[in-house]
Amino acid sequence: MNTYNDVERQLESDLALSIQSYKQILGQLEKINKEIGTASPDVIQELNAVLAELQEKVKPLDKSLQMQSNDCTMVTEAMKGLHEKRQYLLGEVLQVNKQIIEKAQGVQTFIVHEMERFHAGLVAMNGYKQHNQHQGRIVNSSL
């Protein structure tokens, strides 16, 4: 049977693991933020794959923390400090994520603009095509 101390220790341990996990996620997001717009699509895909792996790793931990915090009636100072640190990290993750979204939207706008310019150039170049329908007519009619 779990005593209160066991539940408390497990909650503190899981909070510490969660903090470590979110530090890794924040680090990965900062790498993506630094590389977006300059790195190749392959590099961005690799960075996103690592991020997705880190996120999948933290999901069960977050679920466990939520269940444990619902069961825990008394919050110690250590838990309070860990919880505040975790909340701070979550805020940082959110902030960097917003920066990435803004940069990605900028890159997307740039690409759309370049594609429009490319399309306009193709349309202009098509206007310069020579019509070859009558080519060879004199030779064919003399034979």
Assess if residue 110 is contained within a domain: no
Give residue 127's pLDDT band: very low, low, confident or very high (50, 70, 90). low
Q: Which domain holds residue 71?
A: 4-97
What was the pLDDT predicted at 131? 57
Question: Distance between CA 123 and CA 143 in Å, rounded?
Answer: 38
Assess if residue 77 is contained within a domain: yes
Residue 23 pLDDT more than 60?
yes
Residue labelled with tokens 């900028």:
106
Residues 6 or more apart whose CB falls under 8 angstroms from that of 14 comprise 61, 64, 65, 68
Q: Kindly state the tokens that stand for 52.
A: 């997705």
Question: Across residues 95-104, what is the average pLDDT?
Answer: 93
Assess if residue 107 is contained within a domain: no
Question: Across residues 60-66, what is the average pLDDT?
Answer: 89
Residue 7 pLDDT more than 90?
no
Length of the chain: 143
3-state per-residue secondary structure call for 14-71: HHHHHHHHHHHHHHHHHHHHHHCCCCCHHHHHHHHHHHHHHHHHHHHHHHHHHHHHHH
Assess if residue 128 is contained within a domain: no
CB 64 within 8 A of CB 6: no
CA dihedral 27, 97, 94, 14 (to 10 degrees): -40
Query: Which residue did the predictor score with more confidence, 117 or 138?
Result: 117
Assess if residue 135 is contained within a domain: no
Question: Across residues 44-72, what is the average pLDDT?
Answer: 88
Assess if residue 76 is contained within a domain: yes
Number of domains, the chain? 1
Assess if residue 120 is contained within a domain: no
pTM for this entry: 0.72
Assess if residue 137 is contained within a domain: no
